């Protein structure tokens, strides 16, 4: 797992946002890797960093720390 939580906290609003962002990206990376193993084309973008036998969640954290993955907050739908 990614060890420098301070660097991650600088790129997101709070820990809850970090968890959601990292988990969604890790699922995308996992879907991409499964597609590669099966020889299927997938519409999901692969990892944006060099990966060396790392788990999808670790890759997602590294992408967030490097600023490759960002988010935009959606406006409240009730307004």
pTM: 0.72
3-state secondary structure the chain: CCCCHHHHHCCCCCHHHHHHHHHHHHHHHHHHHHHHHHCCCCCCCCCCCCCCCCCHHHHHHHHHHCCCCCCCCCCCCCC
By residue count, the chain amounts to: 79
Residues ≥6 apart with Cβ < 8 Å to 29: 44, 46, 47, 56, 59, 60
Q: What is the pLDDT of residues 10-63, one digit of tens each?
A: 777 788 888 889 999 999 988 888 888 887 766 767 776 666 678 888 888 888
């Amino acid at each position: 797992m990614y060890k420098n939580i301070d660097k991650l906290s600088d790129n997101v609003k709070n820990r809850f946002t970090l968890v959601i962002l990292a988990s969604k990206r890790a699922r995308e990376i996992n879907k991409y890797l499964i597609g590669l193993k099966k020889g299927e084309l997938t519409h999901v973008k692969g990892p944006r960093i060099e990966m060396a036998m790392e788990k999808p969640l670790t890759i997602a954290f590294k992408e967030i720390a490097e600023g490759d993955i960002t988010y935009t907050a959606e406006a409240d739908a009730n307004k």
